[in-house]
Structure 1
């Protein structure tokens, strides 16, 4: 049996992943060039942005491990056999990195650091009122591994944090949005959550609150966000993900005075720790156990 790495990545990054995976699984045969492998021997695929159709013609494929936490692109590839179990990446190091980004964003919004940065460019000295952390209500939407870690880290800083997932129900969400100063999105992208943040959702949010989108670009209706900022319904947005990446150079977000753009760097997958997570799941498979963090295709994550 063999493991196939299918990753649409820059050459140096691809080589790093291949090296780390081989170091984490020295007893496994890992190939990155499908033409050099017997298709019938491949029973595991480790993937990162695999081109559509790249997993066809593997008759004995019985497990797919994603190197990314998000699996929406994989679920949209109808050439992938839905009967083959698919696992998303859950890496404690990635969870911590995401929490660090969320902490930075919340501190920046709470303490008005983004505003002070703008004032510096204008050589303008102006001190703003300062709230205590416990006076700032933060909503964390999405209570998976990342969402839970983010919520815990923010509570440790003293913020008033409430988590929400779809299991909590939409009535609970409306109340949470109405009283939250900062809303952090970490939900998975599904058909139900596409353009989740739209005109109606922004209207539910507390006036002058802020949005931190660390989930997927598809969660936000861009035009509605720009309008909510123009109307003063939202005070600021911190965005790490976008509909099309890289973000086009002429996109309105770049120059908007109340939008902070990050180039999808909130939580990179660390090849070393993630390779260990892959090795753990492959070992479970070889031992006849179900891999961890399997995707429920009916739910989309």
Structure 2
């Protein structure tokens, strides 16, 4: 969706911006330096001070912060995923929303994805298990050409990840709901494309948004389509994978399942409950939603660009709440 808004003053003029994110003080300082005539507050300011904001720059904003605003011109989501924001009570339906698109997150996500592929490609999972038993047993290194990688999601970040893996020497198959093109990547789309991709890849990486169409996209049937011994790497959204189906596909220490292992950064419930079986599974690596934190410097530049465009009445690529991205 593209929205054009008319604005009454130049960017950096008397606008009020309220920031809500873990490191909000750093954001406040950076935005204040870049926009010296603007009033930049954090969500910790008094309610009366926060009211009447022109813009919210937020990550996982509380409902009351949205409900108290009545004159918003735009909301900037300080991350690539908008599922939390779109499900928050009090979100105004008539205010355009923009989100960060890459903003330095692509490189971090590519690092995580490449590590995950190499973890299984170079048998680091097997060596970790062998170390526990003091077992000295090298494993053969196969050709990268024989280790195709699938990337589900070819938005700005997914396309970056797919390109990085292709440049690292792996054959890459990419998938999206609608047709996309990424240089050097075999791009598939739609249900038929997904059914074609899954049986062909040894490592599968999920970088899709959380939408009604993607929830439990990887269910028992689709996980079973992966080749025996394949691995799953999920730095995207926890809702993409049916966790019980994944556990079933991994099997147990005594009775290995269809899948070799998984590297998981996101989960249905976060933090992942201490009693969850994924913590203790011998073929699962758990990381605490750290694959691609928002880099401040790159993100600040994009936020300022958005504010300039809003104020100048330029067209912006806004979030489509029906599609969920």
Q: Same fold (TM over 0.5)?
A: yes
Give the C-alpha shift of residue 120 in structure 1.
1.7
What SS does the corresponding residue of 2:221 show, helix, strand or coil? Answer: helix
Matching residue within 193, 200, 205 for 2:214: 193
Deviations 1:80-101 (Å, cap 9, x if unpaired)?
Answer: 1122111111234111110011
Matching residue within 300, 309, 322 for 1:275: 300
Q: How many residue pairs were aligned?
A: 295
CA distance in 2, matches of 1:115, 1:38: 54
**Which has a greater percent of helix?**
1
Matching residue within 21, 37, 62 for 1:27: 37
CA distance in 1, matches of 2:315, 2:275: 47
The runs of at least 4 consecutive aligned structure 1 residues that moved more than 6 Å come to none
Root-mean-square deviation (CA), in Å? Answer: 1.5
CA distance in 2, matches of 1:92, 1:270: 7
* TM-score (norm: length of structure 1): 0.94
RCO comparison, higher one (Cα < 8 Å, 6+): 2
Q: Is 1:84 matched with 2:95?
A: yes
Q: How does 1:202-213 map to 2 (within 5 A)?
A: 202-213=223-234
Q: How does 1:252-267 map to 2 (within 5 A)?
A: 252-267=277-292
Q: Is 1:185–1:215's contact at 8 Å kept on the other side of the alignment?
A: yes
CA distance in 2, matches of 1:113, 1:122: 15
Q: How does 1:90-239 map to 2 (within 5 A)?
A: 90-167=101-178, 168-230=189-251, 232-239=257-264
Q: Is 1:6 matched with 2:20?
A: yes
Give the C-alpha shift of residue 155 in structure 1.
0.6
What SS does the corresponding residue of 2:136 show, helix, strand or coil? Answer: coil
What SS does the corresponding residue of 1:218 show, helix, strand or coil? Answer: helix
CA distance in 2, matches of 1:38, 1:104: 42
What SS does the corresponding residue of 1:228 show, helix, strand or coil? Answer: helix
Give the C-alpha shift of residue 38 in structure 1.
6.3
Q: Is 2:233–2:264's contact at 8 Å kept on the other side of the alignment?
A: yes
Q: Is 1:299 matched with 2:297?
A: no
What SS does the corresponding residue of 1:45 show, helix, strand or coil? Answer: strand
Give the C-alpha shift of residue 183 in structure 1.
0.6
Give the C-alpha shift of residue 75 in structure 1.
0.9
Give the C-alpha shift of residue 275 in structure 1.
1.4
CA distance in 2, matches of 1:211, 1:46: 33
In structure 1, stretches of 5+ residues that fail to align are none
In structure 2, stretches of 5+ residues that fail to align are 1-14, 179-188
Q: Is 1:53–1:80's contact at 8 Å kept on the other side of the alignment?
A: no
**Structure 2 CA distance for partners of 1:257 and 1:34, relative to 1, 3 Å:** same
What SS does the corresponding residue of 1:211 show, helix, strand or coil? Answer: strand
